[in-house]
Amino acid sequence: MSNQDSLRTLNEIFAEEVEACIRYLHMAVTIKGIDRLVLQPELLEAMNETLDHARIVAEKLLEMGGVPSLDLRIQLPGEMTTGRDAVRNSVEFERGALGAYQELMENAEGDVRLEEFARAQVALESEHLAHFKLLLED
């Protein structure tokens, strides 16, 4: 993977994390019903974690000579969310982030630091995904 490819992938991951952060915030404030009590803190915690990941990815980008850029196309409806939908959506975009880090890891061959970074993030995202999947079980 060339440095340019790595920067492009990192920029994509940066967008994944920032967008996930916005989605978590939106779900946290729009969640309705009794689920609000349990899931709102969970979603806000996830929001903070994704923001933190976005910052780490941005730092990595800068370290590799790039500059983080964003082109988000996101529309969030003005509707309340059910707990189940919030968790289902979380599974989908956690999957997206995991896929992006996996791609980075697979293509980072030869760049030990980048590979290690990607590997650590894959482990973290896998944990998130497993956690949300567990919440969907009856």
Partner 1 sequence: MATREVFEHEPVSHPVAHYLVTVSELLEEYGYARVSDVARRIGITRGSASITLKSLRQKGLVTEDGRRFLGLSETGGRIAESVLAKRRIMKDLMVRVLGVSEDQAKKDTCEIEHLLSSETAKRAKLLLDFVDSDSKASLEFKRNFDRFAKKRG
Torsion of the alpha carbons at 52, 109, 131 and 72, rounded to the nearest 10: 50
Min. distance of Cβ 5 from partner 1 in angstroms?
A: 12
CA distances from 72 to 22, 46, 63, 84, 136 (A): 11, 19, 23, 25, 28
Nearer to partner 1, 97 or 114 (CB): 97
Specify the residue, 93 or 117, whose C-beta has the smaller distance to partner 1. 93
Q: What 3-state DSSP class applies to 117?
A: helix
Shortest approach of partner 1 to residue 16 CB, angstroms?
5
The least CB distance from residue 4 to partner 1, in Å, is 15
CB of 37 or CB of 127, closer to partner 1: 127
122-125: long-range contacts, CB 8 A cutoff, minimum separation 24: 122/98, 124/53, 125/94, 125/97, 125/98, 125/101
Rounded Cα distance, 123 and 82, in Å = 28
Site of interaction with partner 1 (CB under 8 A): 12, 15-16, 19-20, 23, 71-74, 88-89, 92-93, 95-97, 99-100, 103
Find the shortest distance in angstroms from Cβ 113 to partner 1: 24
Beta carbon of residue 94, minimum distance to partner 1 (angstroms, whole number): 8
Nearer to partner 1 (CB atom), residue 44 or residue 96: 96
Q: Which is nearer to partner 1, 27 or 39 (CB)?
A: 27
